[in-house]
Amino acid sequence: MSGTTPASPIFRPLGIRSLELKNRLVMSPMTRSFSPGGVPGADVAEYYRKRAEGGTGLLITEGVAIDHPAAVENPSVPHMYGDEALAGWRRVVDDVHAAGGKIIPQLWHVGPLWGAMGRPDPAIKPMRPSGLWGTPGVTSYPEKLVARYSPATEPMTEQDIDDVLSAYVRSARNAVDAGFDGIAIHGGHGYLLDAFMWADTNRRTDKWGGSLEARAAFPAAVVAAIRAEIGDELPVFYRFSQHKQQDYKARIADTPDELKVLLGALVDAGADVLDASIRRFDAPAFDGDPCSLAGWAKRLTGARAMAVGSFGLGKTLREGRGAGTIPSEDNRDGLHQRLEDEEFDLIAVGRLHLADPDLAQHLFEGGPLPEFDRDKHERVLH
């Protein structure tokens, strides 16, 4: 019978290094653009505090720009640098902790997708491993945007790579100093780190490209440098994906063996949790096996894994574009079974956390799933 009870595996505690979670429910990162000048204000603190009060075990912030000029061009996306922004984040962290919650920031560099969220400064060079945007395929980007930004640019130089690596380290240090409970790294969706892993955008012939091992080298270097900076106490989460915003049908790995090489490099470098981003958390990752992408990540590396994608919803994020109310789908039984089987360890939920800040409490009570209304909930302020 569908439903959630206190005995559900969702509500089992989990420890990851020093991070002690009271349940397996995670608020997934969701870009919001409510931080003018990159500074998270009181409304941002209230937004996260409410989800902590609602009982969610871990909050992962929206993507946060690292301290690099080409990281994120949207001026309302928060930064992890600068006195004002860091003071704002300290308030967010303090409020979440006061509510009994845990929170980590998702460090973000958009890489080839510089320009997708606004008209950037033309004097700033976009960071692309080989100067390539990515071969356009099935995408939700308008044709004019693809035409504007898909032409090749100058590939990243060794100095560019060093500068970006240093920016990740500085931003991770800033986050730890602000009191966050760990670090999350966005390495999916066609953004910078994913662009190194994707053969279509990484055609380098130096140590940063070519073989599978070389394509994983820079993302692994970022993980290793952050691990060295923050020490052994705090966990590192790493989001990866097969699909890209340039092409939803693209893949970084065609077989489990290929995926093992890429993800194994991240775990060897110090990643604790592999955050497998897919449109449906229970979709098979490879033909002939029902195991999800998160399940394969755990099976191949032995690391903790987190699933995300369409929990409680009948349409994926892409399928629901332009829609009002997204039809609910009570897929709790399937989630419970996968958690019970230890296929993966955590479930990240995005849109239902917008619809209901008290989602964790309502799941604990066994009530119905909330309905997500795109028009009402997508621009939630608090």
Asked if residue 260 has pLDDT above 80, the reply is: yes
3-state secondary structure of 297: helix
Asked if residue 371 has pLDDT above 90, the reply is: no
The vertex-87 CA angle with 86 and 91, nearest 5°, equals 115
Arithmetic mean of pLDDT, 47-73: 98
Structure confidence at residue 1 (pLDDT): 38
Asked if residue 236 has pLDDT above 90, the reply is: yes
Q: Which two tokens stand for residue 198?
A: 């994707």
Cα-based distances in Å from 337 to 4, 8, 148, 284, 333 = 12, 10, 46, 15, 6
Average pLDDT, rounded, for the chain: 93
Domains and CATH numbers, the chain: 9-377 (3.20.20.70)
Structure confidence at residue 104 (pLDDT): 98
Asked if residue 237 has pLDDT above 80, the reply is: yes
Rg (CA), the chain: 19
Confidence of residue 316 (pLDDT cuts 50, 70, 90): low
The better pLDDT of the pair 2, 364 is held by 364
Write down how long the chain is.
382
Burial category of 117 from C-beta neighbours within 10 Å (exposed 0-12, middle 13-18, buried 19 and up)? middle
Least confident stretch, 83-92, 345-354, 368-377:
368-377
165-193 burial, b at 16+ Cβ within 10 Å, e below that, comes to bebbbbbbbbbbebebbbbbbbbbbbbbb
Q: Which of 299, 297, 315 is nearest to 307 (CA)?
A: 297
Q: Dihedrals φ, ψ of 313, to 5°?
A: -125, 145
Asked if residue 378 has pLDDT above 70, the reply is: no
Name the catalytic one among 47, 149, 191, 238.
191
Confidence of residue 41 (pLDDT cuts 50, 70, 90): very high
Arithmetic mean of pLDDT, 299-319: 82
DSSP for 309-329 reads S-TTBSS-TTTTTT-SEEPB-
Q: Dihedrals φ, ψ of 283, to 5°?
A: -75, 135
Which pTM value belongs to this model? 0.95
Arithmetic mean of pLDDT, 319-333: 70
- Measured distance CA(277)–CA(372) in Å, rounded: 20
Structure confidence at residue 315 (pLDDT): 55
The better pLDDT of the pair 328, 171 is held by 171
Arithmetic mean of pLDDT, 142-169: 97
Q: Is 191 assigned a catalytic role? A: yes
Arithmetic mean of pLDDT, 59-69: 98
Asked if residue 259 has pLDDT above 70, the reply is: yes
Q: 337 CB contacts (<8 Å, ≥6 apart)? A: none
Burial category of 112 from C-beta neighbours within 10 Å (exposed 0-12, middle 13-18, buried 19 and up)? buried
Q: Which two tokens stand for residue 308?
A: 């995300």
Asked if residue 248 has pLDDT above 90, the reply is: yes
Structure confidence at residue 376 (pLDDT): 67
